[in-house]
Structure 1
Amino acid sequence: MSVLSNSSVVILGSTGSIGTQGLDVIARHPDRFTVTGLAAGGNHVELLVQQAMRFRVPEVAVYDQSKVPAVRAALEQAGARASVRVSGGPDAVIAMAASGANVVLNGITGSIGLEPSIAALKAGSQLALANKESVVAGGHLLFGAQVREHQINPVDSEHSAIWQSLRSGTHAEVSKLIVTASGGPFRGWKREDMADITPEQALHHPTWHMGPVVTINSSTLMNKGLEVIEASRLFDVPPDRIEVTVHPQSIVHSMVEFVDGATICQASPPDMRLPIALGLSAPGRMGDVAAACDWTTAATWTFEPLDDEAFPAVQLARHCLTASEKHTAVLNAANEQAVHAFLDHRLPYLGIVDTVKAVLDRMDAELRGNPLFTDVEEMGQVELEARRRADEMINRQ
C-alpha cells in the first residue's frame, strides 16, 4: 500500500525514541501526514502534551490510567483541554491502534505492543512496525491478523535494510540474510572481563541513541538474537540461512545474499529517521529525511565474526526459533525481567542471559507440548509464568 498525500497517522509510544523521531519526520512533511492520535506510557506527561499541541492531535491515550488526570491538567493549562480527548489504560491504546488510520507507527517497547499491532492490522492500517516483540512473542498471532499482503512495513534499521535489499530479487533467489550488529559497548571483550559491568557502562552505546531496555539488549546482543527471529518470520527465511556479522561503524544496516553470489546492502549513516520515514511512506521515498554517506571523505567499513562465547544470546535465540513459538515468547519475557533487574542493580550483567537460559531450560518440556499459541491470552499466561520464574531466580541471587 502506498501512503498518499495527507495520510492519517497514529503514533504508539510517541514519547519514546521511535515516536519522537517519527514526529520529527512528520514535522518536515506537514503536507504528507496528519497525526490523528498519540499513545504513550505516561511517564513523560509534559512531552506528550507538547506533542499534542504542536501537531493539533484530537486524541491522546495513556497506557498508565493513573496519569490521565495529570495529562488532562497539563492540556488545560496549555489551553487545549476541550479540543483533545484523553483516555487511559491498555484498552485505550489498543482502541487507538484500531482507529483506522492510514498508518500506525508502533514504537512501543515490549510485548505489550502485540495487541495494538494486531488491532492496527485488523483495522486495515499499514503497520510501520518498530515493536520487534510483536513478531518475536506474537508469531502467527500477528501475521494471522493481516487483512492483505505487504501490510507490515519493518522499521527496525536491520529489517528495513533487508526489506529494501529484497527489492533486488525474488524470494526464490535469496541465498541468505546477513544481519549486521554494531557489537555494542563491549565489542572485543571476553566473557571473563564482563563480571563487573555496570548499568551506566552498558547504557553507553557507541553509535545509537535508544531507550534503556533496547540499549541493554544491544550490549548483550540479545537484540540481535531477537532480530534473527524477527527476520526469519518477517521474510520467511529459515534460521540456518540468517547470519550475524559485527560491523562497528553501523553504516551497512544489513544485507541480502542472492544465489548467484551477489550481495545487496543498504548503507547510510546511523539515523533511525530513515527507516521510520520509509515505514511511513513506503513504497515511495521522501526527501529531507536523513544525511547520506559522504563519498568524498575516506572511510573504512569493517566486518568481523560474532564471538558466541562472549555473547551467547544469539545462539540462544536461534535455539528458541527452531524449538517453538512459545520458546521465543519466553525468551523475550524472561529477558525483559532480567534487564529491568540489572538496571535496578539486582542482577549482575552476566546474569541477564544466564537467567533467560535457566528459565528456558526449566520450561522447555512444557513448551514443546503445544508449540503454537491459540490466542493472545494464552501468550500472556506463558509470558507471566516466564516472568515469575525469572523473578524467582533473580531474587535468589
Structure 2
Amino acid sequence: MNASHSAPSSPASGNGAASPPRAVLFTDARVFDGRSDELSAPARVLIADGKIASIGDGDDVPAGARTVDAGGRTLTPGFIDAHAHVMLQPTLGEAANTDLAYHGLYGASMARLYLSRGYTTIRDTGGNTFSLKKAIDAGLTEGPRIFPSGPIISQTSGHGDFTPAAEPSRLVGGHRDNMQRDGHLLVVDGVPEMLQAVRYVLGRGASQIKLAVSGGCASERDPLDITEFTAEEIGAAVQVAGDWNTYVLAHVYNPSGIRRAVEAGVRTIEHANLIDLETLQLMKDSGTWLSPQVSVYVNDPPGLAPQTKEKFTQAREGLNTLFTLAKKTGFDRIGFGSDIISAPDTLAKINEEFVHRTKWFSPAEILRQATGNNGKMLALSGPRNPYPGTLGVIEPGAPADVLLIDGDPLEDPSLLTDPEKNLTVIVKDGQVFKNLLGE
C-alpha cells in the first residue's frame, strides 16, 4: 500500500469475521448526503461500529476514536457503480487462454482499483464474481461491496454468446465456450432452460439476475436493433427472481426490446441508448429504473471491426436523445455506471463519467445518480441484498461508506478525475482505506 495511505483499521480474523473498526470523527466537513442539491454548513460526522452514528452534535465520541479535521472539504457517500464488470477486464483472448484462478487475481486487482477511485459498492452485471465477493467480505483482499449478478444470461447468438464460429451448435454436439464454463456467461434457449439457469444463478448467491434482451456493441453477431428472448422466456426469469424476492435487469438498446422487458416485469433497463419517447414513458409509468453509461461510448475501443464500430457510433449518437427525453419527461430514476470491459486503463479513468454527464445533468444530479439513486436501485434486491442498510447516503444508521474530497464537486466535478490527489480519505464499512491527512 502506498505510504500515504493508512492500512485498514480492522483486519479480518482467521474465520473471516472482522473486529469492530475504529471510530472516526470528521470535523468541519461540508456534507453532500446523497439526496440534496447542495452541501451542508460545516458539520461534525461521527462513524462508529461501521455506521454513521451522528451528524452534528450527538453521540459522545468513543474513546480512541480517530479525528479527521476535514478543513471545510466535502464529505460524500461512497460512489456506487451500478453497471460494473470487475472480472471481465482481461481481453477476450486472455480470458480464453487462462483459467478462472487468473481471472480471480485479475478481478482482485480491479476491485482494489475501484476502491481507490472512491467506489465502495458495485453492482456487477456480468461475470463470475461470487468468490471475489466472498474474499472481499472476509477481508482477504480490498475492494468494494459487490452485488453479484453472476453470468450474463443470453440466448444463442445473443449478446452473451461468444461461442467461436467454428464450434458446432450444441444441437449437434457442440460445446460451451470457456467464458460459459468459467461462469461469466450462460447461453440458454426456451423456458425450461431459462428456469434452470435463473435458479442455478440465484442458488450461487446472485443478488439479482442479468439478461441480454437486445444486441450489444461488443458482440459481433447481434445488431442493436434485434430483440432477444421471447416474452415467455423473459417472464420465466422474472417469475423465478420474484419467487426469490429479487429482480431482473436487462441489457437492451432498442424500443421493442425495452418494451418487452418492461412489460414482462424487468425492473432496471441497462443502456437504452436507442429509446423513443413512448417507451421511456412506459418505463416511467411502470416505475422502471434506467441505468445508462456515457464514458464507454465516448471513444471507440481500438481495433474494432467495421460492423462493431458502427454499433458504437449508433449507441453514442443515441445518448443525446435518451437524456433529452429523460429531461423532457421528468424521468429521474436514473443510475450511474461504467460498463467498461477488457480495458483496465479506461477503468482507471472511470471518474471521467462525472464530467461527461455534465452535458445533460447538473453536478448535483450526477452525484445523486452515483450515490442515493444507485442505492435505491440496489435495494430492489430486497432480502437478497447482501449488505442490508441504506447505501449511497450519509444519514444516521447508514453504512459508513464515505469519501472526503478536496474541493467542491458540486461546483467542479472534474476534480474527481484526479482521485490520487483529491480523494483525501476513503472509508468503507467504517474502515479507513486511505487517509492523506494523517491521524
Q: TM-score range by the shorter chain?
A: 0.3 to 0.5
TM-score (normalised: structure 1): 0.33
The TM-score with structure 2 as length reference comes to: 0.30
- Give the structure with the higher percent helix: 1
